[in-house]
Amino acid sequence: MIIVDETPMMYHLMYEMLDQLFRDVMKSIDASLEMVFFGDRVVVMGAKTILTPLNDDVVKVNNMVLDIFPGEVMAFFSFDAIPPGKVDNESLYPTKFLNTIDDAIVPLHKLRLKIRIIDILLQNLNTVQGLCNRTRLRVDDFSSTMPQATIVSQGNF
């Protein structure tokens, strides 16, 4: 993992140079990595930006950072069944498959949180209550089925 500080101050060509450097170095290990952003390496940019080629890397970095903070981790799981009658053949979508979907537009099946951690919503949940994209929430408490949180800053509607 590479950590780069003060990235908002960097000229855009610096990002391109860093990307090309990693691609050149990593292609000596595996030629296919020449075509992957940052040579398939995790790059953490200052100002709270994490650039990785794979969603798995983002999950690893998030878990690593979460484990640094004190307190007990609470895991929350997504609803992992398809409502009856929504698809022609429900057996095509077993629960184990649904829980492994890792796509940028589909939330992860398992959400790990700790009390006093700040989380950011990545999609609108309830705009009337201010739960919209990029809203920052501080986790205050847990119930058995959901976290209790306070809005720290508003996102975009």
High-pLDDT (> 70) share of the chain, %: 68
pLDDT of residue 120: 82
Whole-angstrom CA distances from 115 to 3, 89, 139, 157 are 26, 41, 5, 26
pLDDT of residue 134: 82
Mean of pLDDT over the chain: 76
**What is the tens place of the pLDDT at every residue in 33-72?**
777 766 666 665 555 556 666 667 777 878 888 888 888 9
**What is the tens place of the pLDDT at every residue in 37-48?**
666 666 655 555
**What is the tens place of the pLDDT at every residue in 76-120?**
887 766 667 776 666 677 777 777 776 666 677 788 899 988 888
The answer on pLDDT for 5 being more than 60 is no
High-pLDDT (> 90) share of the chain, %: 3
DSSP state string for 100-125: T--BTTB--SEEEE-TT-EEE-SS-S
Q: Enumerate long-range contacts of 44-48, CB under 8 Å, 24 or more apart.
A: 44/1, 44/2, 44/3, 44/4, 45/4, 45/7, 46/3, 46/4, 46/5, 46/6, 46/7, 46/8, 47/6, 47/7, 47/8
Better-predicted residue by pLDDT, 150 or 22: 150
User: Which DSSP letter does residue 134 get?
Assistant: T
Tallying the residues shown for the chain, one arrives at: 157
Pairing between strand 74-77 and 43-45? unpaired
Better-predicted residue by pLDDT, 98 or 140: 140
Better-predicted residue by pLDDT, 150 or 52: 150
pLDDT band at 140 (very low <50, low <70, confident <90, very high): very high
